[in-house]
Amino acid sequence: MSGNSKEPVVKINSSTSKKPKSGKKTKKVLRKVPYRKSKRVVGIKLIILSAFLIPLFTYLFIISLHSHELINIPLSVDILILDVLSFGLLFAGLLMRFKNKKIKTGRKVKLWFKILLGIFLTFYIGLSSLVMFLLYGPYDGFRNWLIPTAMTTMNHKYLATWFYSEDYINKVLSENMVIESGEDTDPNQINISQERPTVYANKYEEAVLKRDKGNDLYKIIDIKRNGYRGKLAVVYDPSKVIIGVSKGLGSSLAGSYGQMLTTISKNYNAVIGTNAGGFYDPNWNSTGGVPHGVVISGGKLLANNVRAVGVGGIVGFNKENKLVLSRMSAQQAINAGIRDAVDFGPFLIVNGESSFIKGNGGWGQAPRTAIGQRKDGIVLLLVIDGRQTASVGADMNDLAEVMKLYGAYNAANMDGGTSSAMTLNHEIITNPRNGNFKAKTRAIPNAWLVVK
């Protein structure tokens, strides 16, 4: 070798030539991949997607098992397939997430997004699970309220039929019904009196008997109880309570029409008015001019149509101004001297005894109207508001309870829902709601009126 030759010099990076100190492990460098291509990220997205889809398809399939009105059989099969696929997505997502858990991605999800996503999924899964528990869980209280309430509305029967079969609906209705005594009222038990006692048995009797100064005809009492609000009109002279009818009252839909309660009140120059009987209303879009059952006004038979309900009967005043609740024909009512009456029910109280009300009575909670009479002849006209936060409505138990508290010896339920309202000097003083929860009433064929 020549003396001038040089050996090649190899530079060694000090950072790589350093030997690890004894006792310390080297850090394992994790492989980085682009964020969007990471299998771990894809797995997380699949888990989130399946968390949304699984409750949706599972609960829809459960609904389809109970009723085919909302979801027919072919659609329920499709939903079941989608539900199985959703569980497959969950399994695939979990597999991708945990097999690649040591792979770093190029971007971190912001904390606020994670929090919002967690809140949304918790709320979504929790709320949907609660709904399904109420609809089909072991607690039947919600079903016993929902089905009768929905089935007595004009526009919202689907709230029951979407989720339950016809057989189950009928079963629930049979467990919530009014069982009447089968007796008729005994008018001899009513003793119309003009005495004004100064000693009262309780606050309810005081509220009725303590008259407003300068007003011997009527008194309005505010009803405020747990879950509902309303008005109770106390009428001291039962001879002033009559049935008023629409000018368009008829026996067929063609050419007949109902009128608003305020209009009927004006037609008769009434002081107080409430709705009375029901009316023929196919598809819930009639003009309210064809009443159900019997209508008698001023001793004249104005209508004798098909009855609306299988309970109740004639509800009206005879010539002695005593409220009569009886299962009789139109001719029998005329022969018995009934001067003003409609045909409706159920009877809530007969001869001081309440009907047996099974469950909620089968009519659900809704706006309600009722009429009653005390043993001293004083008439009670009750309207309960419904379909609103402050007053969800009343069931048959509520009506019977209020009537009983204020001393009704006989009482009956009248038509309810959108028709329920009370007027004072032709102005509505209650808070009516229609089937769409709007503050309005509808045209009716007849009304209880208090005239001067």
pLDDT tens for residues 40-78? 888 889 999 999 999 999 999 999 999 999 999 999 999
Q: Quick one: average pLDDT of 440-452? A: 96
| 81 and 128 in a common domain | yes
**Is the predicted pLDDT of residue 360 greater than 60, yes or no?**
yes
Q: Quick one: average pLDDT of 239-257? A: 95
| 369 and 243 in a common domain | yes
By mean pLDDT, which of 49-58, 134-143, 246-255, 354-363 is the weakest? 354-363
**Is the predicted pLDDT of residue 9 greater than 50, yes or no?**
no
The structure tokens listed for 248 are 């368009």
Q: Quick one: average pLDDT of 137-154? A: 86
- Contact criterion met (CB below 8 Å) for 341 and 314: yes
**Is the predicted pLDDT of residue 451 greater than 80, yes or no?**
yes
In a domain, 320, yes or no: yes
In a domain, 235, yes or no: yes
**Is the predicted pLDDT of residue 33 greater than 60, yes or no?**
no
pTM equals: 0.77
Q: Quick one: average pLDDT of 141-145? A: 90
**Is the predicted pLDDT of residue 106 greater than 80, yes or no?**
no
| 184 and 50 in a common domain | no
Say how many domains are in the chain.
Answer: 3
pLDDT tens-place string over residues 276-298: 999 998 877 789 999 999 999 99
Residues in the chain: 452
| 376 and 329 in a common domain | yes
By mean pLDDT, which of 46-55, 115-124, 151-160, 273-282 is the weakest? 151-160
Instruction: Report the alpha-carbon distance of residue 420 to residue 444 in Å, rounded.
Output: 10
Q: How many CA atoms lie within 13 A of 29 on its CB side?
A: 3
Residue ranges making up the domain that contains 59: 32-139
| 69 and 153 in a common domain | no
Instruction: Report the alpha-carbon distance of residue 258 to residue 310 in Å, rounded.
Output: 24
Those residues with Cβ within 8 angstroms of residue 228's Cβ, 6 or more apart along the chain or in another chain: 365, 384, 385, 386, 391, 392, 393, 394, 398
**Is the predicted pLDDT of residue 105 greater than 70, yes or no?**
no
| 252 and 110 in a common domain | no
Q: Which of 152, 175, 198 is the last residue of a domain?
A: 175
In a domain, 11, yes or no: no
| 321 and 201 in a common domain | yes
In a domain, 429, yes or no: yes
**What average pLDDT does the structure give for the chain?**
89
Q: Is the peptide bond before 187 cis (omega within 30 degrees of 0)?
A: no
| 133 and 224 in a common domain | no
In a domain, 432, yes or no: yes
Q: Quick one: average pLDDT of 214-237? A: 96
| 281 and 370 in a common domain | yes
Strand, helix or coil for residue 78: helix
Q: Quick one: average pLDDT of 153-164? A: 86
Residues 88-107 as b/e (b if ≥16 CB within 10 A, e otherwise) read ebbeebeebbeebeeeebee
- Contact criterion met (CB below 8 Å) for 379 and 403: no
| 349 and 437 in a common domain | yes
| 272 and 199 in a common domain | yes
- Of 267, 277, 364, 262, nearest in space to 313 by CA: 277
Instruction: Report the alpha-carbon distance of residue 80 to residue 88 in Å, rounded.
Output: 13
| pLDDT class of 107 with cuts at 50, 70, 90 | low
In a domain, 14, yes or no: no
In a domain, 384, yes or no: yes
- Contact criterion met (CB below 8 Å) for 195 and 360: no
Give the DSSP letter of residue 67.
-
The DSSP secondary structure of 127-150, one letter per residue, reads HHHHHHHHHHSS--HHHHHHHHHH
**264 vs 363: which has the higher pLDDT:** 264
Instruction: Report the alpha-carbon distance of residue 208 to residue 219 in Å, rounded.
Output: 8
| 243 and 100 in a common domain | no
Q: Quick one: average pLDDT of 228-249? A: 98
| pLDDT at site 37 | 53
Instruction: Report the alpha-carbon distance of residue 409 to residue 343 in Å, rounded.
Output: 19
In a domain, 26, yes or no: no
| pLDDT class of 12 with cuts at 50, 70, 90 | very low
Cβ-based neighbour number of residue 323 at 10 Å: 26
| pLDDT at site 2 | 44
